[in-house]
Chain A
Amino acid sequence: MKKIEAIIQPFRLEPVKEALHAISVKGMTVTEVKGFGTQKGIREVYRGMEYQVDFLPKVKIEVVTTDDKVQTVVETIVKNARTGRIGDGKIFIYPVAEVIRIRTGETGDEAV
């Protein structure tokens, strides 16, 4: 089992969610986050003065899936989150030691 953590542009959340639905991903967790990447934020002008926005708003998606589906899920996220412009985000994949469904007590792949 793996956890796929994707930081994406907030406005790409809807298409990514729809596409994950379509490939039968059963659950996901979404968090509004702020951060910076290679460009270290952007510059804007307020009342005639430049200022640095250090942390840009992003959306973090977390999906836990069985090993065999990892590739499909990642490809789906990349395909739907990509705009080709700076700031599209990153995906991180982590191993998951165990999954437990609280209601039934099921564990492992059954519980994903």
Chain B
Amino acid sequence: MNRKVSFFIILLFVAGVITASLPLLAGADNPSTPAAAAPTNDPSGSLTGTVKDITAKEAGKPVLEEIAEAVGHNKISINIVWTLITGYLVMFMQLGFALVETGFTRAKNAAHTMLMNMSVYFIGLLGFWICGFAFMFGGVGQVANLGMVANLNNEVTWNLFGKDFGIIGYKGFFLSGDSYDVAVFTLFLFQMVFMDTTATIPTGAMAERWKFLAFCVYGFFISMLIYPIYGNWVWGGGWLSQLGTNFGLGHGAVDFAGSGVVHMVGGVTALAGAIVLGPRLGKYKKDGTPNAIPGHHIPMGIAGALILAFGWFGFNPGSTLAGTDLRIAVIAVNTMLASAGGAMSAMLYMWFRFGKPDPTMTVNGLLAGLVAITAPCAFVNAPIAVLIGLIAGVLVVWSVLFIDGVLKVDDPVGAISVHGACGAWGVLALGLFADGTYGDKWNTVEGTVTGLFYGDGGQLLAQVISIIVNFVFVFVAAYLTFKLIDVIIGNRVPAEVEMGGLDVPETGVLAYPDFILAKSDRKETANGELG
């Protein structure tokens, strides 16, 4: 642009600003403005929001019922806004997973790994909308914290020993009919992003060798059936949540934000998937000892871990479904404390045992702490939160070494260990350490949620049962799903595709077209031997 023209525009702008601010300056200097005059603006914010804003027959003079109406509406508004915003944070965790999984795998598969992480979002969303939500929450009733007007009251039950056991929900398909309701939509958004967290966990364990079409089919199975069914049993009013009312086991299975329902389900599915799929070429030497296959972009993985840690402030505190439940402060702090414990113990353990603070294992430690605190976050105190994290950080390292070296299941990013092993630990930790300060009437059982060390061994038993059921049901269901996919379309890409990289054969485009050397600096042969 011509220099003269720019100068003229700047001059005009300055003149405009001065003209606009003149009345303000004059007003400040002029104390003769009558005090009684109605305010024309409210720079401090103290005048905005008054009795006028309460809907009343006689404006400015509401009666008690009208005030109560406004207070009730405000309470539910806060809860719904809180639940939606924390849901948005959880949705952002999709990016965290995408970066961790892509960073910890090789450059030649980066477009493929990233695309799986993105696609699981919309595939899962559609599946959960079609029937996943209805199966999971169709019998949950009216969620009080969301002031729900609609009633999700159709739980299919099975009568055994004269008691009803919820098996599956059956209302809310396609979010239509009675489910066309603000509170139901709020619940859907929040629960949908949770389901997607589960659905995206196996893409890490199964990365670098999974046929994309097989992955797409899996996306519908997990979002429409596997996740919703187990989820119904714990969160939808199903039989595991009824262990308290039916058998007097504490409050039944309690899982505040999903160490079990979300993370362990994802981890166990990942285990079944990685077993069916088999290890990557070159992962194991002929004598069975594992080779390390370093990820191609550690900074990307670390960025993803921090995004996940940020998203967890939605995951855990949001699970109150209530911004008016101020326990959210305890939950948020417990969440960050446990992540610190997990990262610290994993980093130090690697440092002492192998000589260096391994960045990817430190990332796994941070996530392990987060996963483990997810179930107990609302029920434990701060020192216990740190302890749960510290244990999770070491547990995740042991689990990675065990799964890689003993089970010989190839999990490139440690998803089975982070989400499966530490998810189970989180559910168990609740049964041990819940301190009885929160959770009155949880699962309609009187009294607060209390763990073994605070006097309620029944709660621990309910937790153990939920872990066993989780492992058995999810493993069998996922294993059968992957086997079925194997028979119909095949899970694994051909060996030459795997060696050359999945990007071009599977997606038609290279993630990094300018870097050729990076993908070929490790020779791999079909017999699993490194060249």
Contacts and interface: CB of A to CB of B under 8 A. Distances in A.
A106 interface: no
B361 interface: yes
A45 B522 CA distance: 16
Given A45-B354, A45-B355, A45-B356, A51 B293 contact: yes
B289 to A, nearest CB: 8
Interface string A51-75: 1101100000000000000000000
Of the candidates B350, B354, B355, B361, the one having the most CB atoms from chain A within 10 angstroms of its own CB is: B354
B404 interface: yes
Given A47-B414, A55-B521, 5 more contacts: A45-B356, A45-B358, A46-B294, A47-B404, A48-B401
The 3 lowest CB-CB distance pairs between A and B, nearest first, are A51-B292, A49-B292, A46-B292
Contact of A45 (B292, B400, B414, B521): B292
A58 to B, nearest CB: 12
A56 to B, nearest CB: 10
A47 B358 contact: yes
Nearest to B291: A51
Contacts of A48: 350, 353-354, 358, 361, 397, 400-401, 404
Contact of A51 (B294, B353, B523): B294
Nearest to A51: B292
A34 interface: yes
A50 B530 CA distance: 13
Interface of B: 290-294, 350, 353-356, 358, 360-361, 397, 400-401, 404-405, 414, 517, 521-523, 530
Contacts of B290: 49
Contacts of A55: 521
Contacts of A51: 291-294
A49 B358 contact: no
Given A54-B521, A55-B521, A46 B400 contact: no
B524 to A, nearest CB: 12
A50 B292 contact: yes
Contacts of A50: 292
Contacts of B293: 51
Given A34-B521, A52-B530, A47 B355 contact: no
17 contacts: A44-B294, A45-B354, A45-B355, A45-B358, A46-B292, A47-B292, A47-B360, A47-B361, A47-B400, A47-B404, A47-B414, A48-B358, A48-B400, A49-B290, A51-B292, A51-B293, A52-B530
Contacts of A49: 290-292, 404-405
A8 to B, nearest CB: 18
A48 B293 CA distance: 11
Contacts of A46: 292, 294, 358, 360
A52 to B, nearest CB: 7
Contacts of B404: 47-49
A2 to B, nearest CB: 28
B301 to A, nearest CB: 12
Nearest to A32: B517
A34 B293 CA distance: 18
Contacts of B405: 49
Nearest to A33: B517
A54 B530 CA distance: 11
Nearest to A41: B521
Of the candidates B360, B517, B523, the one having the most CB atoms from chain A within 10 angstroms of its own CB is: B517
B400 to A, nearest CB: 6
A54 B522 CA distance: 7
Nearest to B401: A48
A83 B353 CA distance: 31
A55 to B, nearest CB: 5
Contacts of B355: 45
A50 B401 CA distance: 12
A61 to B, nearest CB: 19
A37 to B, nearest CB: 16
Nearest to A52: B530
Of the candidates A46, A52, A54, the one having the most CB atoms from chain B within 10 angstroms of its own CB is: A46
A89 to B, nearest CB: 18
A52 B289 CA distance: 14
Contacts of B530: 52
Nearest to B298: A46
Nearest to A56: B521
Contacts of B401: 48
B106 to A, nearest CB: 12
Contact of A34 (B292, B350, B414, B517): B517
A80 to B, nearest CB: 27
Interface string A64-105: 000000000000000000000000000000000000000000
A36 to B, nearest CB: 11
Contacts of B360: 46-47
B98 to A, nearest CB: 20
A34 B414 CA distance: 29
Nearest to B404: A49
A55 B400 CA distance: 27
Nearest to B349: A48
A49 B522 CA distance: 16
Contacts of A44: 292, 294
A66 to B, nearest CB: 34
Of the candidates B292, B294, B354, B361, the one having the most CB atoms from chain A within 10 angstroms of its own CB is: B292
Contacts of A34: 517, 521
B68 to A, nearest CB: 59
Nearest to B400: A47
B212 to A, nearest CB: 26
A55 B405 CA distance: 26
A52 B414 CA distance: 21
A44 B276 CA distance: 30
A21 B290 CA distance: 49
Contacts of B522: 54
B358 to A, nearest CB: 6
